[in-house]
Amino acid sequence: MEERSSDIIEIKDSSINVRELMEEIESRLARRPVSKEELERLSRWKFSPQSPEGYREFDAAETAHLFEKGISPPKFTNPKFKYIRGPIRWLFIKLIELYAFLDKKLSENRTRAFYSVLNELILLRGDHEKLKRKFEKFYNEFVELNYTLKKEISPEFVWSNEFLYEEETLEESETLILSRLNPGDSVLAINPEWGKFLKQLLKAQIEFKAVTWNKSQYSYIKENITNSVSLLSFEEVLPESPLPSKIISNTNLCLLPNWVLEKLFKSLASKTSSGTEFIFRYSNYSNRMVSPFQPILLTQISESAFREFLQKLGFKNIVDTKAGDGFSVFSFRK
């Protein structure tokens, strides 16, 4: 039993019978006076299984045990049974045990049928795990093939160019990213578009290196903002190790094709060292301009699937912060 807060108790042991536990609580409450505050606190208790999705993982042995367990006589801890005492209680227990024994004997065919179904479920679960592993291998190969065939983004107009003539003011989500950086940090800015965010890093006296995959944006940043920018191809995606301790991207991830994002995050998982901090942002909607002509979004990101994807790559401490400008800022660590 693990106490999560003053009002919520979570039971993670599947062997604990919640109903019996509540009956025990009721019987103890009946033995002593209880204040109104205690009753209100107990009424807010919630019991949940171990799995956050609301169900426990399938256990064949436990399922078979529960099926064979049959009916058990009550423990008479509930105040409702306080009048059943002496020989009557003994007789009541024996009748229940006799009924349980007869029910077990009369249901042997049902038991055999149950074990046949259980065996089939175990075989199906094994096949499912094999198919899942094969699918993950196939998907990884598909991503690599897709990346190999599409080494550049064409036509180039799908890249965001809305910041080229925009005022040098940051959005709320960009300000949030900037607030998590300090002058002494070692920062790598990935795909900074036309460099508006890089200007803010220079003003804050934060040393950084920038990486872009777009020739036009690279030339613009190089000539007008800073020399601390590198042009890489999608074969490299990231500079050689060791990489800085903080890696950020102020660009909306949804502006990038899905195969670029797949390659990027897998490269981050393999090339970065333990303790590296990452800060990215995305929005599935074009919400920056009043104009009816919105920039194209190439990818739609599912928050739950994105979190699971990061966890499978070995990232941890995943925190999602919703900004008032419609962006989600994801921070996590290696």
pLDDT the model gives residue 3: 44
The model's confidence at residue 282, banded by pLDDT at 50, 70 and 90, is: very high
Q: What is the mean pLDDT of residues 121-134?
A: 84
The model's confidence at residue 59, banded by pLDDT at 50, 70 and 90, is: low
CA–CA gap between residue 223 and residue 242 (Å, rounded): 27
Tokens of 294: 């919105």
Tokens of 206: 């934060």
Q: What is the mean pLDDT of residues 210-222?
A: 89
Q: Counting beta carbons within 10 angstroms of the beta carbon of residue 78, is it exposed (0 to 12), middle (13 to 18) or buried (19 or more)?
A: middle
Residue 321 has pLDDT above 80, yes or no: yes
pLDDT the model gives residue 157: 45
Bridge-based pairing state of the strands 277-282 and 246-252 = parallel
Q: Topology of 172-333 in CATH?
A: Rossmann fold (3.40.50)
H/E stretch holding 172 = helix 172-179
CA–CA gap between residue 167 and residue 251 (Å, rounded): 16
Extents of the domains making up the chain: 59-151, 172-333
Residue 216 has pLDDT above 80, yes or no: yes
Average pLDDT, the chain: 76
Residue 239 has pLDDT above 80, yes or no: yes
